[in-house]
Amino acid sequence: AQKVTQAQTEISVVEKEDVTLDCVYETRDTTYYLFWYKQPPSGELVFLIRRNSFDEQNEISGRYSWNFQKSTSSFNFTITASQVVDSAVYFCALSEARPGNTPLVFGKGTRLSVIA
């Protein structure tokens, strides 16, 4: 069975600090997708990134970066120079990679509070 663990329930940082959100996953599949979604206070779920299991290259998008390490089954998310607008709940998710798409298995989420 697939499982996603986000051990950090809540994190609080001061604006401009860097913060890393941890995600550890379990799956028996050899190919799979990993995702991060953001849920701001308004409630919607916003897609941030998708990573294929055979692509271990790290990715950077502006202040956001992602570190995928298959050896430790981790897909961590770092926000550099955090801003108040980054305050949200962040979810890591996992799905099988097969035709027709498969449902997402979500972690419990990490609530990030960025204080001005």
Partner 1 sequence: DSGVTQTPKHLITATGQRVTLRCSPRSGDLSVYWYQQSLDQGLQFLIQYYNGEERAKGNILERFSAQQFPDLHSELNLSSLELGDSALYFCASSQRRGLPPDTQYFGPGTRLTVL
Which residues form the interface with partner 1 (CB under 8 A)? 33, 35, 37, 43-47, 50, 91, 95, 97-109
| 57 CB burial (10 A radius; 0-12, 13-18, 19+) | exposed
Question: In this complex, which beta carbon is closest to partner 1, that of residue 15 or of residue 38?
Answer: 38
Question: In this complex, which beta carbon is closest to partner 1, that of residue 41 or of residue 116?
Answer: 41
Question: In this complex, which beta carbon is closest to partner 1, that of residue 15 or of residue 29?
Answer: 29
| Separation between Cα atoms, residue 90 and residue 30, nearest integer Å | 25
For residue 79, the minimal CB distance to partner 1 (Å) is 20
| Separation between Cα atoms, residue 52 and residue 59, nearest integer Å | 12
For residue 65, the minimal CB distance to partner 1 (Å) is 19
Q: Report yes or no: 11 and 19 within 8 Å, Cβ to Cβ.
A: yes
For residue 78, the minimal CB distance to partner 1 (Å) is 21
Amino acid code (one letter) for 10: E
For residue 36, the minimal CB distance to partner 1 (Å) is 11
Question: In this complex, which beta carbon is closest to partner 1, that of residue 82 or of residue 89?
Answer: 89
The torsion region of residue 63 among left (phi > 0), alpha (psi -120 to 50) and beta comes to: alpha
